[in-house]
Structure 1
């Protein structure tokens, strides 16, 4: 078994951007099936219209999962120490998500050197998810 070592990181380093989308009804249904979230906001357009949305919306955990996957593709899941997300706005069908991130500090966690990152998922100029993460660093 081979493992990747942690990345050497510096304040200001950027995580390479990634885009995902457009978000489809199939994406939402597949995630609902995997996670068991069958809230009608995610699949019933009549319900969502009555709730004040113009279309169904994706569940927040779907964006959080995409954000985590993007981050760990870069740093290695074995080096992720903490991840925290906040949902800022709904994601609608057809949205294209752009993931960005930056190292904001270098510190320690339980004696291990880690980098603090700020992460974002945006649709156009609208931030839909903001996150922070700690990843092991070389």
Structure 2
């Protein structure tokens, strides 16, 4: 790993809920390795292609850039909703999870070796 390469956690945070009950929900499903600009490329693509379900009847769409990502603000008839596509560097104690090996499957999608086979906790 070079000095400019690091592990990044892309985060998507979006407004959910109606009217006064709006709140933010976030997800950070994967980690990526590379420079900050390389890490920002994925969230930028997602932000540009995003078509949020809220608000209904969107009237204005604003795509912005910040140093940590891309806010997408969509104005409706009354409320505005925002989705933030950002990246953050994991802090100490938060290493990237190890990738699980792929599951070998038959042509019909059924696993060759069932997940329960060999488990000692099933008695």
TM-score, normalized by the shorter chain, greater than 0.5: no
Largest Rg, 1 or 2:
2
TM-score for the superposition, normalised by structure 2: 0.33
Structure with more strand by fraction: 1
TM-score for the superposition, normalised by structure 1: 0.31
Structure with more helix by fraction: 1
